[in-house]
Amino acid sequence: MFASLSDRLTATFRNLRGKGRLSEQDITTTVSEIRRALLEADVALPVVREFTAAVRERALGAEVSSALNPGQQIVKIVNSELVEILGGQARDLRFAKRPPTVIMLAGLQGAGKTTLAGKLAKWLKDQGQTPLLVASDLQRPNAVTQLQVVGERAGVPVWAPEPGNGVGDPIEVARSGLAHAQDKLYSVVIVDTAGRLGVDSEMMAQAAAIKDVVQPDETLFVLDAMIGQDAVATAQAFQEGVDFTGVVLTKLDGDARGGAALSVAKVTGRPVLFASTGEKLTDFERFHADRMASRILDMGDILTLIEQAERAFDQDEAERMAAKVAGGEDFTLQDFLDQMQQLKKMGSMKKVLGMLPGAGQMREALENFDEREVDRIEAMVRSMTPQERANPKIINGSRRSRIARGSGTTVTEINQLMERFEQAKTMMRQMARSGGKMPPGGFGPGGLPGGGKKSKGRMAPPPKKGKKGKSGNPAKRAKQEAEALRKAAEQPAAPTGSSFGLGGGAGADPDAVPDLEDLQKYLR
């Protein structure tokens, strides 16, 4: 979503590199480019004005003029101001002192409230809570059925006494749902309310009535991050009508401009608590302003990446793999398969790679990356026998043909997999020898062992031992030749036929040549 904004800001900062001192004109030009980039990203005009004014004021101050690297200092200022307009310090959900904690969802129709209810319920369940979903959206067709399906996928119960589709009283459903949660000792109640295609008084009145009945601890405004400038007006209308306590951004994985995310927290004064980044129930995360600012400035989001890895990776498996590498054991294809399965648990490879610093520079490669390639590799490895996975050296031509047929691939793809596996195994060996550190030069093109014609890692062959060259001094050269003749004379003559095992070694009679019958004995 922030690709265009990120590219514009990165290009702007690139012009500041290498400058030992920034003039006022340089700062004015940079601030103008930032303003243009934010406006093109659909950020609200008041937010843009406040942001650029703050950046300009700080850039003209002492913190830039006295900095060793003014260009980097400008980036630091923009980063801190981005964090500020995104909401600053992250806030946790407020839980009730006496359960159940009531969370009410409000927003326009199509913002993704029902799906988000399931994502939030699953997230809370993973945190050790016992949530209950309440279907108070009785207006939209099949909204109750959709919530039941989402709840079943999340493993969370749903309170739905009314069929919906215009039938039933949503206020009474919310009241009875809260009573049911208190009776069954659920720790959290998530109330899904109805939305409309636009802001109207009827919708606001119904949402306000539900709020009065359930007295929520948190009222979350679900905002579609793809609606652009209209997000500000919608957020202000809901703030006046319902007075929400936090914002949840949905569809952050879209390709629209992300001005809503950069505007809503500053305009409403309410923090963004969560972000939905995909269609799966697991594509849901806490919103951190500092991490989002780092993503926008193409500095990566390593902390979120680490958190995802901690949730996905098996600790025992990680310790086993670390012990194997430290012990110098060979990396097998079974280990290769296990590591791939751990990576798949983290979600989309594009998203994982997109969190790395500098990912914007390889955006085209990421967009062209085929997620199915991981599945094809897994199919190839699974088509091998346990013996072949443990000892890849036995995989000959016929075995490769069999593996290709079993996995629906070609022998060429099997060969490419084996080459990549050998490179990975070599890397693991080098890391084990270097105490877990990456080898010098990394494993980029030309740096892979055997990966280039002039590989830096390849050792020069030792000099061959041979005769010393003849001296240029005539007297010394004559002495060398005399010494060589003397040594040749002292050496015994090589026994005749000894090279073929037919002679008797030193002292053998050269005339004692075996006859035809003796030769036939050696041939039998």
DSSP letter at 228?
Answer: T
- The 218-224 sheet, strands edge to edge: 158-159, 131-135, 188-192, 101-106, 218-224, 246-250, 272-276, 284-286
Structural element, H or E, at residue 26: helix 24-40
Pairwise CA distance, residues 159 & 136, whole Å:
9
Query: For 298, what's the count of Cα atoms within 13 Å in the CB-facing half-sphere?
Result: 18
- Residue 316, SS3 per DSSP: helix
Residue 20: which residues within 8 A CB-CB, separation 6 or more? 70
Q: Write the burial class of residue 110 (CB in 10 Å: 0-12 exposed, 13-18 middle, 19+ buried).
A: middle
Tell whether 110 is in a known binding site: yes
Tell whether 111 is in a known binding site: yes
Give residue 36's region: left, alpha or beta (phi > 0; psi -120 to 50). alpha
Tell whether 108 is in a known binding site: yes
407 neighbors 379 (Cβ within 8 angstroms): yes
CA 145 to centroid of chain Cα atoms? 34
In the chain, what is the straight-line distance between the N-terminal and C-terminal CA atoms, in Å? 82
Structural element, H or E, at residue 192: strand 188-192
Residue 275: which residues within 8 A CB-CB, separation 6 or more? 248, 249, 250, 252, 284, 285, 286, 287, 292
Tell whether 251 is in a known binding site: yes
Tell whether 113 is in a known binding site: yes
Tell whether 139 is in a known binding site: no
Tell whether 194 is in a known binding site: yes
C-alpha dihedral (311, 313, 318, 319), degrees to nearest 10: 40
Tell whether 496 is in a known binding site: no
Tell whether 505 is in a known binding site: no
67 neighbors 5 (Cβ within 8 angstroms): no
Residue 317: which residues within 8 A CB-CB, separation 6 or more? 338, 342
- CA quadruple 497, 503, 509, 514: dihedral sign: negative
Residue 353 in tokens: 């790679």
Pairwise CA distance, residues 66 & 58, whole Å:
12
Residue among 488, 359, 303, 332 nearest 2 (CA): 359
Tell whether 114 is in a known binding site: yes
Pairwise CA distance, residues 411 & 14, whole Å:
45
Query: For 69, what's the count of Cα atoms within 13 Å in the CB-facing half-sphere?
Result: 9
Residue among 285, 387, 393, 379 nearest 341 (CA): 379
Tell whether 231 is in a known binding site: no
Binding-site annotation: residue ranges: 107-114, 192-196, 250-253
Binding-site annotation: residue ranges for GTP: 107-114, 192-196, 250-253
